[in-house]
Structures are given as structure tokens and as C-alpha cells.
Structure 1
């Protein structure tokens, strides 16, 4: 696989030189400064590409290989009449990216919130800090801080009572910290949602259930995927994180069945998947190695990470060491390597999959630095080293066909 890391642009505390020293050749980035729904101009794209590739030389080049993400406007997710304008803008952004030579574009279709956690500095016994999601804490926020109408239907009586008791023992600072964590904005953004108007945003989805959100996703992909196909761009949807309904909102990219329905809705190769082992691996019913085999031709980008579910409550999880969590990383990487060999044998132009280690620990010297949650450099360097060694051992043990 092509080793890459996510970089959030000029304001990222992690530098491009840090990523070069980690041994990566690819950069995964986005134009976070452009408002969601607006066209990414050719000039803005070329400016970012020039920044990424400045100073390249023969021994350690960097290239902007993947866009993560080109966000989908809420009007598209909600199926509003204005979606037509935003879909046309999306197509134009794809055309501009293709003109700059960027051919892999990641996006997601999670309503309102992107990825959700309840703790950003969960400390492991070794002293690492990592991301964590606790169902009881999320219920506490939903029921007693946000006080969402109808929220009690989503939590059993025991969870409601334990959350109520926990709230009574929390300090104002702890309550504010939980609120800020749940309402955190998109990775790479300095903005977060405000509690005062957050319920209003949820209310705009009052009449959008599972069926409607799926229809809106399929409408979008049927409009943009054929354009991407003509441009030679691979679109790849990121699974829901976590892959469960939250805050009464539907989530429709959580299971193998969800992905199959999406791929069948527009059967062109450009309509593909970001195979995130962390998001998909939170669910026990997702067979990740089998999914790699069954979706092989439509996987365009790979996020390798793993989580550890709590033994007494599988809805609780934290980011785990990349080779030690609930994901069978050996089996997944082996399946991905076999897919690369298949592509090589069939002379695909995209024989190697871009991969990035995701959600590394905050550790060592990075414990004293402010970075985007999950994206400090040392933890990702550790993860990449482990994954690089795993991939090499697998590649040397498989007879190429």
C-alpha cells in the first residue's frame, strides 16, 4: 500500500517534514478554509498542491494523493430543493481536482455530526492518551444536557438512571468538557457546534428517517459518480463513526448491507469505499476480511486503525493499539495485499491502495503539545511502523500470482 498521513494544512501542528520523516510518500488533505458547499477553485487546489509538493526531491517526495474530505452539504443530505446547486458545485470541484491531477476523493454522509466521541484524552495504563466513546456519557449529554425531545426512547431505564446519577456527581467543568467533546466539529476545523442552537439543527431532520436519508444519498451518488468516472476520479465514502444511530438521526453507512446497497445504487467503479477498519470494526457483525474480498474492486482508500470494545458493554469503545484491538489486522491487511496483487495481474492503473494509519495515541513528547485529537505525529508514526512491518511480513509470505 502507499503510505500516507492526513495533514490539516498550514495550521496543522504536525508539519510536512514530520510526515516525510515518518516515511510517507502521500499526503491526505483538504481545503478546510472553504465553506461547505462552495466550489474548490483550481487556484486554491493548485496552491495547496504546490505547498505539499514544494521541496520534493528524489529521495523523499510528497504528493497530494487523496482529498479527505470534500464535504457534502446538509441540503443534499436533507434532500432540499437547493441541493441541485450544491451538487453542481460538487461536480465542479471534482472537475477542478481532476485538472490538478488528484484522483481520490473521500466524503461521508453522516447527518449533522461527523465522528462522535465522549472523551478525547482517555488515559491507558501505559500513559498513552486516546479517544473513547461511552454510551452512558453520550446518554447523559443527550438526556440531561441537550434534553432532546423523545431521547428517552433511545435508552433503557438502567442507562437513563445511571446517567442521571453520574450527572449529579459531575463538576461544571466536567459537564462543559463532555458538551464540548460531543459538539466537536469536523476534524481539521477550529469550529464546533453551539449547544444553544444544536437542537434546531437536529429538528431539521425531524421528517428524515432511514429510508429518506438513503434515498438522498443514492440521489447524490447517481449525480456525481458518473461525472467522477468520466474524470478518472475514485469517490470513496467513509463509514459512519460510530456505526450506530445517534441523537435520533439515521446512519446508513454502517454495515456490509449498507455498503452493498450504496454500490448497487450506482454501479460504476468510481462509486467506492474508504475502508475504515476502525469505524466498521466497532460492530461485531461486520466481517472485515470478508468485506475486503467482497468489495475488493470498489475499495479506493484505506484507514487502518482498531478499537477495543468494553467486555461488559459493547457500545463502549476506545482506540486501541493498531495490532491489538478487536480488528483482526493481520487478516485485513492480508486481504488488502491479495487485492493489490489481483490489480497488478490485471494491469489496473491504481494497483496500490493509498493507506493511512488513523487515530494514533497521544504519547511521549506529544503529550505536551496541542494537536488535532487522534492526529499527533508520534502515535501515528508508531502505528505506521507496526503496519509497515505487518505488510512486509505478509507480502513476503504470499506467492504472487
Structure 2
């Protein structure tokens, strides 16, 4: 398993020097400053590779750009409206330029409007650490009383609506503003930032779209890009919905093993694969992460290893980001399943036998608390997670072969 680290570019408060000292072997990055729908040019790709390859004193870092996360899919492509065909052509050009630069793995997602969604970006733990949290009552309060989405009340039962009403009533104005900012924060480092009006406008455009229609649009998109990916030697891998349930009336189509199986069967190719994110999928109690790794393993091109603690016994409810070995996912069993998949690939002679993984998210601890890096992406919290994951691999790897 190849140890990688997500880096958001020169503005990231966790530097390439920090990453090098953490012991990662490769970098996961993207051109976040390039607007969605535009071509990633050879020049911009080369600049990012050079930034990754150079430490602050000008010496070589020894790090390589191993995975793109993400080459973003525009809302026009997801809706098949506006400039969606031009955006697909631009996407194909970006693929060609990335392949020419020697990058083989491209992670993307097909979540409508918002990327990952949390209600608190720095929830304090008993230890003094902070982490990201999704509080279902707070989210419903946002939906009903801040966003004011038409028809939102029908999406929730009486008890949840009343709990949200009481929660909202006791929130000071500053807390309401913070909740709104947190929910629409989206992808850290992205070129785009949504306002509430932006969200309302996007939601209106998705108002009549079903899960089946959105899935059909994903299959259409993959049908356009996967043959080119095969030709170029690229491996595409879709990130799951985060959280893995419908939100704000939007369809969600990559939340369960059944969702993945359907899309993988519709566009059956070694180039069409999975980003197995144990944190996103682990927020649902009915997702069996080690089992998914076993059953979908030959199509898993990238691993996000993080953990969440589910705060209720429901299939889905409030959750928070846990320590890597401290949440509800059996991380040892998941890593063991990944190592077994690598052994199968080696035996089959696959060139892509080594699966890149990164320690995803992490709690802010020690100096992280004053650094204020991208929410969810602290230096020391991820270093701790990487060390724990590295220990599992060191213990199990020789036994599995």
C-alpha cells in the first residue's frame, strides 16, 4: 500500500516539507485554482509537479504527484444542461495532459451541488482535540430555518422537526451564521464558494431530478471518458457521497455497495473504479467496509482511510470524525482486506498491484490547534493517523505476503 498525503497547493498551511517529514511517499493534489469546466493545461500540471517536487530550501523533496483529487465534474455535466458537452471535451483534454505528465489515478465525485457536508468544523473532544461533525438536528435546522428550502418539512418526521425548531430557537445569531458557513463550505481549496442564494439556485435546477436520472447522467459521463482512460492508461475512481444519504432533496447515487455495483456493471472496464472512503461510507451503519473491499477490491484504485463515530443506532444519524483506529469501522480488518487484494493482484501480474491510500481527515491536536489548516486536514492529526495505519500494515503485511 503506497502512502500518500493530500496537499492543496502552495497556500496549504501544511507544507511539502511537513509532508516529507511525515514520511509520505506521494502526493494527492489538484489544480484547485482552475475553474470547473476549464482545461488543465500542461503548463499548470508541470507547475504543480514542480511545487510537489521541491522543498522550501530548493532541494528535491523526493515526492511525486501520484493521484489527482479531484478533476472536478461540472454541475452542467451532472445535469446535462448548458455547456455540458464542452465541459466533457475539456475534461478529456485534461485527461490527455495528465496522462502525458505520467499521472495515472484520477479521483472524482458525482455529488450534486455540495461536496462533503458538515455542521461543525471544529467540534471539541474531551481530550481537547477538535474534529469535524455532522449533527443531524443542526442540519435540519439549517434546511428548515436558514435555507428555507421549499418542501423541506415533508422530508423529516415530527420529532426531528421539533428538535430542529428548538435547537434553532436557542442558537445566537453568530451560531446561525457559523452553521450556514459550515454547511456550504464545500471542498477545501476549491476555486468556487457558494452563497445561500447559489445553493437555492442550484437546488431549484435539481428539483425534478430523480436518482435514476442522475445515475444515468453518471453512466453517460463514464461512457464518454472511460474508453479514453483505457487508451491513456488512466484509472478513474469515484468517491462516495459524503454523507452517504440524500440531503436537501438532492439525489445521491454513490452511497452504498449496491450503488457502486450498478455503475461498475454499467460501464465495465478496469479503468472504471472505486475510491473506497471508509469515513464517508462508514457514516452508514449498513455499509460493511471490509466486505466492500473484498467484493469490490479489483476495482478499488484509491483508498481514503479514516474513521467516524456514529452517535445513534440508526442507519444514518449524527456522527463525528474519530481517531483513525477509534471509530465504528474496523480499520484493522479493512487494511487486512486491502493487503489481501494487493496479494491477489501481484499473483495475477497486475502492474497496479499497489493501492495508493492516504490518511484521510484527522483530529486537530497539539500544534494543529494553532495552525488553522484546511478543516479536516491537520498536519499532526493526519501524521498520527498515518503512523497508526503504517503500524497495521507493518504487522499484517509480512503475514499476508
- Equivalent positions of 1:157-176 (< 5 A) are 157-176=158-177
Rounded Cα–Cα distance in structure 2 between residues aligned with 1:196 and 1:84: 26
List per-residue Cα deviations over 1:198-231 (Å, max 9, x = no partner). Answer: 2111101012111110110000011101111110
* Aligned residue number for residue 356 of structure 1: 358
Q: Report which stretch shifted further, 192-201 or 218-227.
A: 192-201
Q: What secondary structure is seen at the aligned counterpart in 2 of 1:315?
A: coil
* Aligned residue number for residue 32 of structure 1: 32
* Aligned residue number for residue 317 of structure 1: 319
* Aligned residue number for residue 7 of structure 1: 7
Rounded Cα–Cα distance in structure 1 between residues aligned with 2:61 and 2:220: 42
- Equivalent positions of 1:118-197 (< 5 A) are 118-189=119-190, 191-197=192-198
Rounded Cα–Cα distance in structure 1 between residues aligned with 2:8 and 2:259: 29
Rounded Cα–Cα distance in structure 2 between residues aligned with 1:321 and 1:238: 21
Note the residue ranges of structure 2 that are not aligned, 5 or more in a row: none
1:164 CA drift (Å): 0.9
Q: Report which stretch shifted further, 242-251 or 194-203.
A: 194-203
Rounded Cα–Cα distance in structure 2 between residues aligned with 1:132 and 1:227: 39
* Aligned residue number for residue 257 of structure 2: 256
List per-residue Cα deviations over 1:38-86 (Å, max 9, x = no partner). Answer: 0100111011111111369999620000000000010110022531111
Note the residue ranges of structure 1 that are not aligned, 5 or more in a row: none
Alpha-carbon spacing, 1:236–1:381, altered in 2? closer, same or farther (3 Å): same
- Indicate if the aligned counterparts of 2:117 and 2:186 stay in contact, CA closer than 8 A: no
List per-residue Cα deviations over 1:122-150 (Å, max 9, x = no partner). Answer: 11111110000011100000001111000
* Aligned residue number for residue 20 of structure 2: 20
The question of 1:223 aligning with 2:224 is answered yes
Q: Report which stretch shifted further, 2-11 or 308-317.
A: 308-317
Rounded Cα–Cα distance in structure 1 between residues aligned with 2:373 and 2:382: 12
Alpha-carbon spacing, 1:190–1:121, altered in 2? closer, same or farther (3 Å): farther
1:347 CA drift (Å): 1.7
TM-score normalised by the chain length of structure 1:
0.97
Rounded Cα–Cα distance in structure 1 between residues aligned with 2:388 and 2:399: 17
- Which of 345, 348, 353 aligns to 2:347? It is 345
Q: What secondary structure is seen at the aligned counterpart in 1 of 2:395?
A: helix
1:192 CA drift (Å): 2.7
* Aligned residue number for residue 370 of structure 1: 372
Rounded Cα–Cα distance in structure 2 between residues aligned with 1:40 and 1:277: 29
List per-residue Cα deviations over 1:244-288 (Å, max 9, x = no partner). Answer: 000000000000010001101111110001110111111111111
Alpha-carbon spacing, 1:60–1:8, altered in 2? closer, same or farther (3 Å): closer
TM-score normalised by the chain length of structure 2:
0.97
Q: What secondary structure is seen at the aligned counterpart in 1 of 2:357?
A: strand
Q: What secondary structure is seen at the aligned counterpart in 2 of 1:296?
A: helix
1:196 CA drift (Å): 3.0
- Indicate if the aligned counterparts of 1:225 and 1:268 stay in contact, CA closer than 8 A: yes
- Equivalent positions of 1:242-253 (< 5 A) are 242-253=243-254
* Aligned residue number for residue 388 of structure 1: 390
Rounded Cα–Cα distance in structure 2 between residues aligned with 1:60 and 1:396: 29
Alpha-carbon spacing, 1:190–1:235, altered in 2? closer, same or farther (3 Å): closer
* Alignment RMSD (CA, Å): 1.6
* Aligned residue number for residue 331 of structure 1: 333
* Aligned residue number for residue 48 of structure 2: 48
The question of 1:88 aligning with 2:89 is answered yes
Q: What secondary structure is seen at the aligned counterpart in 1 of 2:276?
A: strand
Alpha-carbon spacing, 1:58–1:191, altered in 2? closer, same or farther (3 Å): closer
Rounded Cα–Cα distance in structure 2 between residues aligned with 1:92 and 1:197: 28
* Aligned residue number for residue 61 of structure 1: 62
